């Protein structure tokens, strides 16, 4: 009886946006008289962080600190339409809509600042700390708080903007499947190291080496959380999860987490992750959708590592101890 | 505050990274906020327990809804007896299909995909174990559960079918009369097709032909927060729906169609959700909770318990995939034929969409000149499957990448070199006839090899997504 070690690989791509497009999202933005900008959305944050990403996109476009941006989302009475949070679309669609809205608001902001400072709007810049200033003349500047007050009470202007992103719908050709399904593709490659116990059939994933190409990491900490959490889910799918363990039989379906197993802290492999950035021309600051992709490559990488370890080719998910042991038995019989 | 950060490789695609950043930020220089760590806006609330989720909405006179569900896989409903259930103290109302204004789920109606094929509450037949038949509205959750348990349904069993290929055979039990056959029809075709090049010619000319089969089983989204909503009737006659939906307007539009009410009678409030993973895309709790709130003229809460979330809520579809490849001695794949079956369960939900997404994904991230795919969306007598993280792609990747490993081993080739040789590059025409751009499969393979200490020969290290070098 032995613990057998093996290594397996998998490389994948993943489309950004609802398949075939036709999935718009809108954003509205306006400055209050305090110089705070409110982004109105109806997008849902499932924990992936769209509220944070929307604020970052707006702050970058406006040229203001992120503390000057608030996100008000997911009330259908006040937020403009969003198709929803799925299909790795949130950052791409909502990010683009926010950038478009913020760009319009920035234009008004600079126009009003030009009037206040009696200069040409084209000669103004934002410094990222809250000031709009004349290029090359640091002292000629106005803070956004003063500017927003002046815009409202003195100039009668709203500093606001509207944004939408739509990838126009594509219809597949029924005979050939010709279609335009995606906005861009993200990429990942996983090397998995596993240990198979040939007595119990238990597979332990020891290490994952992951390279991800994601267009642009808009928020490197949240991107790290997303890829590591996704890889965990891949491990979970590979080794543990199903609601029908003897599919297509409907028997033995779990009803709680005592029967539906997922990896606990002791089951989590060491993850070595690396980002590559090949910016997408249509992505917000080049970003691609990575929400779904990161669970995918670990599953076949683990299957291939199990084969490398013990010679058992698992064609059915999940890779339970029972399946591993039956595979080992079959090898001994031949 | 310190954060765990995966490093960003700035040397690969350096020119494209710089070009995309040019003109951004202060003085046209670097980004100021993009690419920086900003704390997740709701992190502090989540870890301190201060975040408000829909279940924290506790209006006065809140009533509770629980379902009586099918105890059979496939059966005619002969009789539903509510007598005992209505006698349970605290039970306010019991809804049946007759109470639902438009008793049909319409998830894909708004994007023009039909037919409507699923009742909100079962009418004369149940098609899967756990299908909702009656909704019990009560003063307390316990009374609602007790009422649901005391409903008596008389069934006449019908033969069920659970296997996708069995379901497609002549004479198989018909799962869903709305469709009339056990598969979805794609513009006159029995499946979603990909036809690219000439696979027959490729198989005839190949040095090797490999064919294997892959199978997955349904997988639960398993969010920490189960699917649910709280519906609060408003003084002006509107309904305010606090929901953990992944798509507020999708929920609003579909609920209005089922209630047969103007869209602006409804207001969805959501946006902070305890995990979705696709499980909260289908609109399954809000419509019946709205009917209950209107019938009882009280706020109503309908939340799945964990068992419902695991066995009734739509999971990731099981898939069966056959892949047959035409391969040359040097590892070049010249043809790939894939037959894919998505087990939709008893109703379509988003499975017709997911099946098309699977077709668009084939033959994987490789430049294969001849591709044939038949992707079937099949109905069986099980819980309807629907959206889940990567559906249409995740299981296909398990099959495709297992296939690549097996080809490499059969030909005694390095598994990463085999992939690099076949990887798609900018300018390649995909099987769905879109020209590939922005590709980076070559680079992620090279970087993963470096990370894992897997040596690649110089010729493979020099390959690029933007050139044909080494091919």
pLDDT in tens, B138-166: 999 999 999 999 999 999 999 999 999 99
B325: β partners: B210, B336
Q: How far apart are CA B49 and CA B45, in angstroms?
A: 6
Share of chain B above pLDDT 90, in %: 94
Share of chain A above pLDDT 90, in %: 97
* Cβ pair B401:A11 closer than 8 A: yes
Structure tokens at B65: 């809804």
| pLDDT higher at B368 or A291 | B368
pTM of the complete model: 0.97
Residue range B95-124: mean pLDDT, rounded: 89
- DSSP assignment, residue B465? T
Q: What is the pLDDT of residue B29?
A: 57
CATH architecture for the domain at A3-16+183-333: 2-Layer Sandwich (3.30)
Same fold, B192-217+315-461 and B221-311: yes
Q: Would you tell me which residues 182-221 of chain A have a C-beta closer than 8 angstroms to some C-beta of chain B? A: 182, 184-185, 187-191, 209-213, 215-221
Q: What is the pLDDT of residue B27?
A: 45
- Pick the residue from chain A with its C-alpha nearest to B225: A46
- Pick the residue from chain B with its C-alpha nearest to A47: B275
Among A12, A21, A39, A122, the residue to mutate for chain B (most B Cβ within 10 A): A12
Fold of the B221-311 domain: Aldehyde Oxidoreductase; domain 4 (3.30.365)
Cα distances from B246 to residues A42, A49, A86, A314, B282, in angstroms, run 10, 13, 7, 34, 9
Q: Which residues of B touch A131 (CB under 8 A)?
A: none
Q: Say if A76 is an interface residue toward chain B (CB within 8 Å).
A: yes
Which CATH number applies to B192-217+315-461: 3.40.630.10, 3.20.20.140, 3.30.70.270, 3.30.365.10? 3.30.365.10
Q: What is the pLDDT of residue B109?
A: 73
Among B189, B213, B315, B390, the residue to mutate for chain A (most A Cβ within 10 A): B390
Where do the structural domains in chain B lie, given as residue ranges? 14-47, 63-157, 192-217+315-461, 221-311
According to the 3-state scheme, what is the secondary structure of chain A?
CCEEEEEEEEEEEEECCCCCCCCCEEEEEEECCCCCEEEEECCCECCCCHHHHHHHHHHHHHCCCHHHEEEEECECCCCCCECCCCCCCHHHHHHHHHHHHHHHHHHHHHHHHHHHHCCCHHHEEECCCCEEEECCEEEEEEEHHHHHHHHHHCCCCCCEEEEEECCCCCCCCCCCCCCCCCCCEEEEEEEEEEEEECCCCCEEEEEEEEEEECCCCCCHHHHHHHHHHHHHHHHHHHHCCCCCCCCCCCCCCCCCCCCCCCCCHHHCCEEEEEEECCCCCCCHHHCCCCCCHHHCCHHHHHHHHHHHHHCCCCCECCCCHHHHHHHHHHHHHC
* Cβ pair B247:A85 closer than 8 A: yes
Residue range B21-36: mean pLDDT, rounded: 73
Cross-chain CB nearest to A274 (options B281, B364, B447):
B447
- Spans of chain A below 70 pLDDT: none
- Pick the residue from chain A with its C-alpha nearest to B392: A19
**Preceding amide of B115 cis, omega within 30:** yes
* Cβ pair A60:B393 closer than 8 A: no
Cross-chain CB nearest to A296 (options B16, B359, B390):
B390
Residue A213 near residue A187, CB atoms below 8 Å: yes
* Cβ pair B448:A300 closer than 8 A: no
Residue A39 near residue A58, CB atoms below 8 Å: yes
Among A220, A243, A245, A287, the residue to mutate for chain B (most B Cβ within 10 A): A243
Q: How far apart are CA B366 and CA B424, in angstroms?
A: 5
pLDDT digits (tens, 9 = 90+) for B181-201: 999 999 999 999 999 999 999
Q: What is the pLDDT of residue B23?
A: 64
Residue range B430-452: mean pLDDT, rounded: 98
Indicate the helix (H) or strand (E) that contains B448: helix B441-452
Q: Which residues of A touch B250 (CB under 8 A)?
A: 83-84
Q: Does domain B63-157 have CATH number 3.90.1170.50?
A: yes
Residue range B172-178: mean pLDDT, rounded: 97
Q: Using N-to-C axis directions, what is the helix angle for A144-153 and A95-117, rounded to 10°?
A: 80
Where do you find CATH 3.30.365.10 in chain A? 3-16+183-333, 25-165
Beta carbons within 10 angstroms of residue B361's beta carbon: 32
Q: What is the pLDDT of residue B26?
A: 44
Rounded to a whole number, what is the distance in Å from the CA of A120 to chain B's nearest CA?
17
Fold of the A25-165 domain: Aldehyde Oxidoreductase; domain 4 (3.30.365)
Q: Which residues of B touch A175 (CB under 8 A)?
A: 189, 193, 195
């Amino acid at each position: 009886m032995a613990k057998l070690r093996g290594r397996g690989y998998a490389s994948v791509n993943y489309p950004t946006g609802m398949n075939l497009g036709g999935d718009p999202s809108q954003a509205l933005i306006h400055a209050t008289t305090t110089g705070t900008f409110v982004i109105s959305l109806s997008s849902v944050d499932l924990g992936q962080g769209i509220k944070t990403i929307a604020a970052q996109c707006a702050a970058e476009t406006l040229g203001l600190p992120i503390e000057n941006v608030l996100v008000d989302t997911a009330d259908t009475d006040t937020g403009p339409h969003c198709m929803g949070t799925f299909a790795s679309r949130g950052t791409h669609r909502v990010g683009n809509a926010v950038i478009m809205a913020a760009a319009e608001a920035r234009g008004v902001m600079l126009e009003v600042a030009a009037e206040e400072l009696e200069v040409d709007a084209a000669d103004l810049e934002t410094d990222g700390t809250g000031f709009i200033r004349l290029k090359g003349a640091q002292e000629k500047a106005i803070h956004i708080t003063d500017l927003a007050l002046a815009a409202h009470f003195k100039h009668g202007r709203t500093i606001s903007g509207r944004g939408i992103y739509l990838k126009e719908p594509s219809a597949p050709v029924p005979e050939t499947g010709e279609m335009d399904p995606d906005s861009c593709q993200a990429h990942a490659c996983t090397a998995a190291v596993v240990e198979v116990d040939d007595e119990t059939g238990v597979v332990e994933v020891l290490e994952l080496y992951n390279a991800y190409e994601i267009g642009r990491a808009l928020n490197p900490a949240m991107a790290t959380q997303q890829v590591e959490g996704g890889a965990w889910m891949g491990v979970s799918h590979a080794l543990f999860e199903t609601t029908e363990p003897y599919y297509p039989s409907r028997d033995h379906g779990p009803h709680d987490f005592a029967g539906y197993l997922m990896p606990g802290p002791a089951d989590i492999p060491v993850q070595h992750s690396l980002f590559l950035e090949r910016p997408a021309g249509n992505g917000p600051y080049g970003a691609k959708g990575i929400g779904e992709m990161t669970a995918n490559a670990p599953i076949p990488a683990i299957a291939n590592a199990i084969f490398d370890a013990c010679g058992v080719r698992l064609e059915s998910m999940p890779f339970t101890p029972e399946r591993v042991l039956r595979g080992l038995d079959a090898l001994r019989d031949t | 505050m310190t954060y765990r950060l995966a490093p960003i490789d700035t040397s690969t695609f350096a020119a494209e990274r710089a070009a995309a950043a040019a003109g951004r930020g202060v003085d046209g220089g670097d980004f100021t906020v993009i690419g920086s760590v900003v704390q997740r806006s709701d992190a502090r609330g989540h870890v301190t327990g201060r975040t408000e989720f829909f279940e924290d909405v506790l209006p006065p006179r809140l009533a509770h809804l629980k379902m009586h569900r099918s105890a059979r896989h496939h059966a005619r409903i002969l009789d539903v007896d509510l007598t005992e259930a209505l006698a349970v103290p605290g039970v306010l109302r019991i809804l049946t299909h007759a109470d639902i204004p438009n008793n049909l789920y319409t998830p894909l109606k708004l994007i023009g995909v039909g037919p409507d094929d699923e009742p909100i509450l079962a009418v004369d037949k149940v098609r899967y174990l756990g299908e909702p038949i009656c909704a019990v509205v009560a003063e307390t959750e316990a009374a609602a559960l007790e009422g649901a348990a005391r409903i008596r349904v008389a069934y006449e069993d019908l033969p069920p079918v659970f296997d996708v290929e069995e379901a497609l055979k002549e004479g198989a039990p018909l799962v869903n009369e709305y469709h009339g056959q056990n598969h979805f029809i794609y513009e006159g075709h029995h499946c979603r097709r990909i036809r690219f090049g000439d696979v027959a010619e490729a198989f005839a000319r190949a040095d090797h032909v490999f064919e294997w089969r892959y199978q997955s089983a349904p997988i639960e989204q398993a969010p920490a927060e189960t699917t649910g909503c709280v519906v609060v009737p408003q003084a002006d006659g509107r309904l305010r729906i606090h929901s953990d939906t992944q798509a507020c307007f999708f929920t609003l539009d579909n609920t209005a169609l089922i209630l047969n009410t103007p869209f602006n009678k409804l207001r969805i409030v959501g946006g902070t959700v305890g995990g979705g993973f696709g499980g909260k895309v289908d609109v399954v709790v809000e419509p019946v909770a709205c009917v209950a709130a209107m019938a009882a003229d009280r706020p109503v809460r309908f939340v799945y318990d964990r068992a419902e979330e695991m066995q009734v809520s739509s999971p990731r579809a099981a898939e069966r995939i056959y892949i047959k490849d035409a391969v040359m001695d040097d590892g070049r794949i010249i043809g790939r034929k894939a037959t894919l079956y998505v087990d939709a369960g008893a109703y379509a939900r988003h499975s017709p969409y997911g099946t098309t997404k699977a077709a668009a994904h084939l033959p994987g991230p490789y430049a294969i000149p001849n591709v044939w795919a038949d992707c079937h969306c099949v109905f069986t007598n099980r819980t309807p499957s629907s959206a889940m993280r990567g559906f249409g792609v995740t299981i296909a990747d398990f099959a495709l990448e297992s296939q690549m490993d097996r080809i490499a081993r059969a030909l005694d080739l390095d598994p990463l070199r085999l992939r690099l040789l076949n990887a798609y590059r900018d300018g390649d025409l995909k099987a769905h006839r879109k020209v590939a751009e922005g590709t980076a499969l070559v680079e992620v393979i090279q970087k993963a090899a470096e990370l894992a200490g897997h040596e690649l020969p110089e010729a493979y290290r020099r390959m690029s997504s933007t050139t044909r070098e080494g091919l």
